[in-house]
A = this chain, B = another copy of it.
Amino acid sequence: MPVFADEVPPSPEKLRAWGLDKGELIDTAVPGFQGAAAAAGLRPDGRVDVGLIAAEQPSPIAGVFTQNKLPAAPVQISRRHLRGKSALAILANSGGANACTGPAGLEACLSTCEHLAQALRCSQELIFPCSTGVIGQLNQLAARINAVIPGLKSRLTPQGLPLAAQAIMTTDAFPKMAQARLNLGGREITVVGMAKGAGMIRPDMATMLAFVLSDVKIDAAGLQKMALRAAQASFNRASVDGDTSTNDTLLFMASGRAANPLLTEEEQARLEAAFTEICQKLAAMIVLDGEGAQHLIVTRIKGAASREQAYQSCYALAHSPLCKTAFYGRDPNWGRFTSTMGALAGRHDYPLEPELMSLYIGPDALVSKGVWQGPEAERRAAAIMGDKIYQLTVDLGLGPHEFWIFTNDLGPDYVRINADYRS
């Protein structure tokens, strides 16, 4: 259960203003970084499938990885390399997760790190590998990636970051990038983030790769603290289908090229807020691009008797296929939503009082302290459920605890995509 103080989600208005479904490719350069991509043949469709992000010199890195107990080979290696707190490059591929591949997978991953380290003339520990795609197939990963490393290196350019963003896409319908600029200590700081997501998203960083690059000068310890908190306020609140992947990786790199003075506490807070907003944008894009999703729903629990009840109730709503198909059907089927609370409370022996429970779809109550607010309220709720982005709030009326997450709806396209994924 993540610990996070600020339980106020971004408002639907703010989320709408972010233009989450545009799939913008951002070619803003981040001083100190270059990017490139290549088609290595890992994907049968011939699209770019290997991305390289390289810093000019070893730079502070922070990382947050999947909690899955079968972490993919690149997660095992990147986790190990993170001990050095310094990175020169991120080497990311789609077209193969290199998970559940045993010793051969580790060997393949290490081989790509070795080849890239040789090309960049650095130690292998400065390379951070990331993979996404089908689990359990190695797909000649090392040979294919190693073959494109010289070309990747020669094509590195400051405008190449969006190429890397495209190279990691799998079932994503659109590329996911976000940026921010802020002034810290008289220096303009640039932050650019990119992510891939779609299916298999749930807390603990499910099949999700995200990279956030900045020219800010900060040490690795400070960066790691901010990365953890930004992840908890964003990716760890993103749920598409309740499964956690073997490969999730969030990496932050800071080139220091802005040469800002040591950050004050106020500046640290502003930088963390910028990181958090970028991660929230990327996480919301991932959920909205959840396989076949039509809606981004901010699910919010208030008034829980314990923090655990708030957290579990939030996920129960967001994972219930009955609730998610009701979201898809734009059906304010409040009986299902409250029944889900009852089922969860029964399993965990949480307190629950129907006559204290209220349910809001958008700003208006559909159920207020156990009482249905009538057909007019239901019509308003149904209209709001037609929106691309809206908030569903259940106030349990029991105590002070809150939690929120991003979820989406479950439509027939989810089934189509996932039933056919490998074929």
Contact = CB atoms under 8 A, between A and B. Distances in A.
Nearest to A137: B335
Contacts of A412: 412, 415-416
Nearest to A340: B243
Interface in A316-370: 319-322, 325-326, 328-329, 331, 333-336, 338-343, 345-347, 350, 352, 354-355, 370
B69 A370 contact: no
Given A99-B339, A370-B102, A415 B346 contact: no
Contacts of A354: 70, 100, 102
A199 interface: yes
Interface in A245-295: 245-246
A8 interface: no
B244 A415 contact: no
Given A136-B335, A343-B243, A326 B419 contact: yes
Interface in A357-386: 370-372
A329 B415 CA distance: 9
Contact of A342 (B246, B345, B418): B246
A304 to B, nearest CB: 13
B418 A135 contact: no
Contact of A415 (B67, B333, B415): B415
A241 B322 contact: yes
A322 B243 contact: yes
A309 to B, nearest CB: 11
Contact of A97 (B335, B416, B422): B335
Nearest to A410: B415
Contacts of A154: none
Contact of A199 (B71, B206, B322, B355): B322
A9 interface: no
B343 A245 contact: yes
A350 B206 CA distance: 18
Interface in A367-423: 370-372, 410-412, 414-416, 418-423
A418 B335 contact: no
A92 B102 CA distance: 55
A59 interface: no
A299 interface: no
A69 to B, nearest CB: 4
A49 interface: no
Contacts of A246: 339, 342
A204 interface: yes
A167 interface: no
A200 interface: yes
Given A333-B422, A355-B102, A339 B135 contact: yes
Nearest to A67: B346
A68 interface: yes
Nearest to A415: B412
A242 B204 CA distance: 21
Given A97-B335, A333-B421, A414-B415, 12 more contacts: A67-B347, A68-B339, A70-B338, A99-B335, A100-B334, A100-B339, A204-B346, A204-B347, A243-B339, A326-B419, A329-B418, A411-B419
29 contacts: A67-B343, A68-B342, A69-B352, A70-B338, A70-B339, A70-B341, A70-B352, A100-B334, A100-B335, A100-B338, A134-B333, A136-B334, A202-B343, A204-B346, A241-B321, A242-B320, A243-B322, A243-B340, A244-B346, A246-B339, A321-B418, A326-B419, A328-B415, A329-B420, A329-B421, A331-B422, A412-B412, A412-B415, A414-B415
